[in-house]
A and B are shown apart, each in its own frame.
Chain A
């Protein structure tokens, strides 16, 4: 009896961890009036100083979107979003004429642990992959506008373009025009169309032929204003035989309202190029009773267009009230490969419906899916995945492993794996497990003197390790901490 009660208490403890990034930054912010119509789309485009083709792209998206109905198939309860109550553009006002970043914004990123100061670095002395000394170029986005992108000049020496999406539209219009909407068409789905109409900012990356990007490229998204949505748009192009590792991180203040983050990320991978895309998503998840929190409704897709091209998605999802995302791989090139490594943690009343799509078009293409769901509190955690092999794709291989760990008696874990195999030569493997936290493991740790909450954190960390270790090192450490924090007070 005594033991059971104690278990319950610890469980409660572990799941009621506080959100650490819930502060707001007091900067003067320009917010346009709420609501969405054609004039608003035009206004956003004008604010960003966009060329006419960009405006037409937006209007086309808007006109299609307004005729559409919101999709309802996810295993999540998304309250209808009142688009009349959201402002679709908000940006911190720049101080005076000079282009300096507001010190308050710098302080914010400092508080979040994101370096916005370039470290002194001798020319041509960039650290190589795995040299221990890690170097990261950062694009910092607050609400609708990028604030600063570091190491741009250094990267430019190698022909690498790393800037905000808005700048790319103005400075590299031909590149943007060539690739925009090629991986995620505007009319792909309701939210991709919405994003295409009103997207705010995000990152643009171009890695030229044969170049290995010498540092991690990171985008950091922060929602600051209330009553706004954030519509991230990111486009990454890896030209032939190039390599890049890209990271994104996300946080938002604690607010009672549900804020919308509807992103589109497109990645175009040419022959023998490789892109690693890592996400640590920690949007505000709402409070203990499920009030507030970010709706994270995201379309992410990579096209492995070239032969032997490679894309690897790694995601650690701990935040957001609702997460609805399926980073996908279209494996068109012969021998191309797609990977998806995911840890999704839900606690309290969070809901996550996440997974991936592997579309095999190219011969001998291969894919690997490792998904680890961890649910606590009253949360719902779903894996949804599609493995599709087209008739012409001979010699395809897929391995899927999909594990769910339950930390309470009131949470749910669900899996919706779909396989559509149209070629008999495909070799498809699928493994799935669902388990509760193992009492024998807990007791073994406790017998060695490890406190119950630390033991849970250790065991969950071990469970997620296969995925977390795919992250770049500095992110892996953060992610591990975030995992412990998210399940704090949650064992049962």
Chain B
């Protein structure tokens, strides 16, 4: 029996008055991993921005149900508390705010929403240590400011570290693999795979084959000009990597 976690229905969205998404329909059940592929500018990142409630983007039509609830009515932080996590394509630097303080605020806000006591300093630092090991992130990270002075690879690993800390129900990875070398890619993929369970689902936005080899999505969707134009299994991904998007373009334009 499939249990829908996320249902996107006829989603239209725009940024700065320009329509980017033109009727996205997508259902993701619990425990599923979906890959989203498509040429640059197709609307992949816009979709992740809409799912997480980025105020720079505007929904003009359609609805999204998450755990059966109206997702669009929720504030960004409430979506996070409900278990939605975005691994940002471009993680943001916050000067002067240490990773420890940042993560502690995030973890305890989530706990508060779920009616749990905040973690003590000791418990929290223990959790940090554990999860840091998952992505082999340096100890010094804890005292550095959020993403400040991090290399590209460190930033991406830091995203997966945060994901491990927050244990989301729906994780969205927006080109987390871009700019990573093979070793870093393996570390990131391990982090993602560890979270897999019958309840948790993931959306993986990518241009590259390697990540899909490691993460192994059951479903692949091709986004083109703001719509999902093709659905399939892993074989669809393989064809894209072999032939590119031109055949998709031709099919759609015809």
- Whether A441 touches B94, Cβ cut-off 8 Å, given contacts A447-B76, A448-B166, is yes
A1 / chain B contacts, CB cutoff of 8 Å = 58
- Judge whether A443 and B76 touch: CB under 8 Å: yes
Annotate A193-218 by CB proximity to B: 1 below 8 A, 0 otherwise: 00000000000000000000000000
**Interface pair B97/A462, CB less than 8 Å apart:** yes
Interface residues of B in 115-164 (CB under 8 A from A): 145-146, 162
Which residues from A are CB-within-8-Å of B95? Answer: 462-463
| Smallest beta-carbon distance A160→chain B, Å | 35
**With an 8 A cutoff between CB atoms, is B242 at the interface?**
no
Query: Which chain B residues (64-104) contact chain A, with CB distance < 8 Å?
Result: 75-77, 79-81, 85-86, 88, 91-97, 101-103
A462 x B96 contact (CB < 8 A): yes
Instruction: Tell whether, in the assembled complex, residue A458 and residue B101 are in contact, meaning their CB atoms are under 8 Å apart.
Output: yes
Q: Which of A1-18 contact B (CB under 8 A)?
A: 1, 3-4, 6-7
Query: Interface readout for A90-118 with B: 1 if CB under 8 Å, 0 if not?
Result: 00000000000000000000000000000
Binds B, one of A136-144, A240-248, A422-430, A449-457: A449-457
- Tell me if A459 and B162 are in contact (CB < 8 A): no
For B166, what are the chain A residues with a Cβ–Cβ distance below 8 Å?
448-449
> Which residues of B237-251 have CB atoms within 8 Å of chain A's CB atoms?
none
B27 interface residue (CB < 8 Å to A): no
Q: A439-B56, A462-B145 are in contact. Are A448 and B94 (CB under 8 A)?
A: no
B96 proximity list for chain A (CB < 8 A): 461-466
Q: Which residue of A lies closest to B101 (CB)?
A: A458
B52 at the interface (CB under 8 A from A): yes
CB < 8 Å neighbour of B80 from A449, A458, A464:
A449
Q: Are B97 and A448 in contact (CB-based, < 8 A)?
A: no
A4 to B92, CA, bound (A): 21
CB < 8 Å neighbour of B109 from A4, A7, A451, A462? A451
Asked if B55 CB lies within 8 Å of chain A CBs, one says yes
Of the residues A444, A454, A463, contact of B105 by C-beta under 8 Å: A454
Residues in B with CB closer than 8 Å to A458 are: 94, 97, 101-102, 105
Chain B residue at smallest Cβ distance from A452: B77
B29 within 8 A of A: no
Given A7-B55, A444-B92, A454-B105, verify A461-B97 contact (CB < 8 Å).
yes
Name the CB-closest residue of A to B82: A449
Q: Does A447 lie within 8 Å of B109, measured CB to CB?
A: no
Q: Is the CB of A449 within 8 A of B145?
A: no
A443 to B52 CA separation, bound complex (whole angstroms): 9
1/0 per residue, CB under 8 A from A, across B23-55: the answer is 000000000000000000000000000001111
B88 partner residues in chain A, CB cutoff 8 A? 444, 447
- Identity of the chain B residue whose Cβ is nearest the Cβ of A3 in the assembled complex: B55
Asked if B94 and A454 sit within 8 Å, CB to CB, the answer is no
Q: When chains A and B are docked, how far (Å) is the Cα of A458 from the Cα of B101?
A: 9
Q: Which residues of A contact B214 (CB under 8 A)?
A: none
A317–B201 Cα distance when bound, in Å, is 49
State the Cβ distance, B246 to closest chain A Cβ, in Å. 34
CB of A24 within 8 A of chain B?
A: no
Interface check A29, CB cutoff 8 A = no
- Which residues in B have their C-beta under 8 angstroms from that of A444? 88, 91-92, 94, 146
What secondary structure prevails in chain A residues at the interface with B?
Answer: helix
List A contacts of B53 (CB < 8 A).
3, 446-447
Residue of A nearest to B54 (CB): A443
Q: Decide yes or no whether B208 CB sits under 8 A from chain A.
A: no
A residues in contact with B110, CB < 8 Å: 449
Q: Once the chains are docked, how many angstroms separate the CA of A443 from the CA of B80?
A: 11
Q: B106 contacts the other chain (Cβ, under 8 Å)?
A: yes
Residue in chain A with minimal CB distance to B83 = A449
In the complex the two chains form, what is the Cα distance from A448 to B146 in whole Å?
A: 12
A408-453 contacts to B, CB under 8 A, are 438-441, 443-452
Q: Which A residues touch B85, using CB under 8 A?
A: 447
B92 and A440 within 8 A (CB): yes
Q: Which residues of A contact B58 (CB under 8 A)?
A: 1
Q: Are B80 and A448 in contact (CB under 8 A)?
A: yes
Shortest Cβ distance from A479 into chain B, in angstroms? Answer: 14
Set of chain B residues within 8 Å of A4, measured between Cβ atoms: 55
* Chain A 450-489: CB-based contact to B (< 8 A → 1; otherwise 0): 1110100011011111100000000000000000000000
Min Cβ gap B104→A in Å is 10
Contacts of A6 in B (CB 8 A): 75
Q: Which of A439, A452, A462 contacts B94 (CB 8 A)?
A: A462
User: Distance (Å) between the CB of A175 and the closest chain B CB?
Assistant: 42
State the Cβ distance, A11 to closest chain B Cβ, in Å. Answer: 13
* Distance in angstroms between the alpha carbons of A441 and B102 in the assembled complex: 12
Residue of B nearest to A463 (CB): B96
In whole angstroms, what is the CA distance A454 to B77 when docked?
11
Q: Within 8 Å CB of A7, what residues of B? A: 55
Contact indicator B106/A448 (Cβ below 8 Å): yes
Q: B102 touches which one: A439, A448, A464 (CB < 8 A)?
A: A448
Query: In the complex, what distance in Å separates the CA atom of A446 from the CA atom of B97?
Result: 15
Q: Of B52, B56, B97, which contacts A447 at CB under 8 A?
A: B52
Report the minimal beta-carbon distance from A318 to chain B, rounded to whole angstroms. 17
A464 partner residues in chain B, CB cutoff 8 A: 96
CB closest chain-B residue, reference A4 = B55
Chain B residues, CB < 8 A from A448:
80, 102-103, 105-106, 162, 166
Which residues on the A side are within 8 Å of B79 (C-beta)?
447
CA A3 – CA B58 in complex, angstroms? 9
List residues of chain B with CB within 8 A of the CB of A443: 54-56, 76, 92
**Known pairs A3-B55, A444-B146, A462-B94. 19 more at Cβ < 8 A?**
A1-B58, A6-B75, A441-B92, A443-B55, A444-B88, A445-B94, A446-B76, A447-B76, A447-B80, A448-B80, A448-B103, A449-B81, A449-B110, A450-B102, A454-B109, A458-B105, A459-B97, A461-B96, A465-B97
Q: Could you list which residues of chain A lie within 8 angstroms of chain B, going by C-beta atoms?
A: 1, 3-4, 6-7, 438-441, 443-452, 454, 458-459, 461-466
Task: List 20 interface pairs A-B (beta carbons < 8 Å), by A numbering.
Answer: A438-B92, A443-B55, A443-B56, A443-B76, A445-B94, A445-B102, A445-B106, A447-B80, A447-B86, A447-B88, A448-B166, A449-B106, A450-B109, A451-B77, A451-B109, A454-B109, A459-B94, A459-B97, A465-B97, A466-B96
Ranked nearest first, the 7 interchain pairs of A and B with the lowest CB-CB distance are A462-B96, A3-B55, A462-B97, A465-B96, A449-B80, A448-B106, A446-B76
